[in-house]
């Protein structure tokens, strides 16, 4: 093997979500690492996960992750879904013999730096009910803001996942819905973490609703940077420019392809996958 070929790895990056939301991570990866082949699985037959019980999220999340790894034979698995990350990451990391990156750890590391730099008084997180009920962000709070100088405002807005999946709202309609839905405590934060990958699609509307000085921190960007750093460290970043996106969905590929352009303008191959029924 030549020195150059030892510096890269042509195996794909596997990216998992319940629907279109994880395409926010895919889009960021394609920009920063255009040579990478991405295999994306969206469990569209079973979303939204964010209103389900931890037991069902674990069953669905493990099955989806194992299916994707079997199909893609990737060099790394990125769980581009906060809900699956908080409930499934630990076991998947133990079980799989590749690195598994979730949304939580890079978000917490990124938040710690930003909170230290900007000394926010109020930081908000919008996420799904299942992500917030895991208490993952609350438990990390002592680490993020050791003197408790920054107050955390959490808001579960799971129904917005389905609105994004529908892809039916115009930016103006989304603005009206968000304006009615978000309480003043969230509208007036100094920074807002996008704690559900579907909500990256809401950033333009959120910019108009939050105060103009507010920082919108998209966890998808923090996670993407973490993945790139990890691949560089492991000398596995693919350096040429001819990457691609292969998508698998468990239901309705036509609908997925209609909504995907809200996240990425790139074309992608798509395949419908029938999931195994068995509980493992
Ligand atoms: N994109 C998922 C997340 O980040 C959405 C979860 C759902 O399906 O409710 O949590």
Summarised one tens digit per residue, pLDDT across range 223-274 is 999 999 999 998 888 877 789 999 999 999 999 999 999 999 999 999 999 8
Q: Lowest mean pLDDT: which of 48-57, 151-160, 166-175, 204-213?
A: 166-175
> Mean pLDDT across the stretch 52-76?
97
Q: Is the CB of 161 under 6 A from ligand 1?
A: yes
200 ligand 1 Cβ < 6 A: no
| Pocket test residue of 15, 17, 201 for ligand 1, highest count of atoms within 8 A of CB | 17
| Model pLDDT, residue 171 | 87
Please work out whether the CB of residue 131 comes within 6 Å of at least one atom of ligand 1. yes
Q: Taking Cα atoms as reference points, which of 260, 264, 232 lies closest to residue 35?
A: 232
pTM of the complete model: 0.94
Nearest alpha carbon, ligand 1 atom 2: 81
Q: Is the pLDDT of residue 279 over 50?
A: yes
Active site residues: 81, 196
- Reply yes or no on whether the pLDDT at 3 is more than 50: no
pLDDT at 10: 86
- pLDDT > 70 fraction of the chain, expressed in percent and rounded: 96
Give the separation between CA 120 and CA 235, rounded to whole angstroms.
Answer: 36
């Amino acid at each position: 093997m030549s020195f150059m070929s030892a510096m890269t790895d042509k195996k794909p990056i596997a990216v998992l979500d319940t629907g279109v939301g994880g395409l926010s991570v895919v889009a960021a990866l394609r920009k920063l690492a255009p040579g990478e082949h991405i295999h994306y699985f969206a469990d569209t037959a079973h979303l939204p996960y964010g209103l389900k019980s931890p037991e069902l999220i674990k069953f669905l999340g493990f099955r989806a992750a194992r299916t994707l790894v079997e199909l893609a034979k990737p060099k790394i698995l990125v769980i581009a879904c906060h809900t699956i990350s908080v409930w499934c990451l630990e076991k998947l990391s133990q079980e799989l013999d590749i690195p598994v990156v979730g949304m939580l750890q890079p978000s917490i590391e990124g938040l710690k730096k930003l909170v230290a730099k900007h000394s926010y008084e109020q930081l908000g997180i919008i996420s799904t009910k299942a992500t917030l009920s895991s208490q993952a962000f609350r438990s990390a709070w002592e680490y993020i803001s050791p003197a408790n100088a920054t107050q955390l405002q959490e808001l579960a807005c799971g129904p917005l996942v389905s609105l994004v999946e529908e892809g039916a709202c115009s930016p103006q309609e989304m603005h009206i819905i968000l304006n009615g839905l978000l309480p003043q405590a969230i509208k007036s934060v100094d920074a807002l973490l996008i704690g559900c990958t579907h909500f990256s699609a809401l950033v333009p509307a959120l910019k108009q609703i939050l105060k103009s000085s507010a920082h919108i921190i998209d966890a998808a960007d923090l996670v993407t940077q973490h993945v790139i750093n990890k691949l560089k460290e492991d000398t596995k970043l693919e350096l040429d420019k001819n990457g691609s996106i292969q998508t698998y969905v468990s239901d309705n590929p036509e609908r997925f392809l209609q909504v995907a352009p809200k996240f990425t303008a790139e074309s992608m191959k798509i395949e419908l996958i029938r999931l195994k029924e068995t509980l493992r």
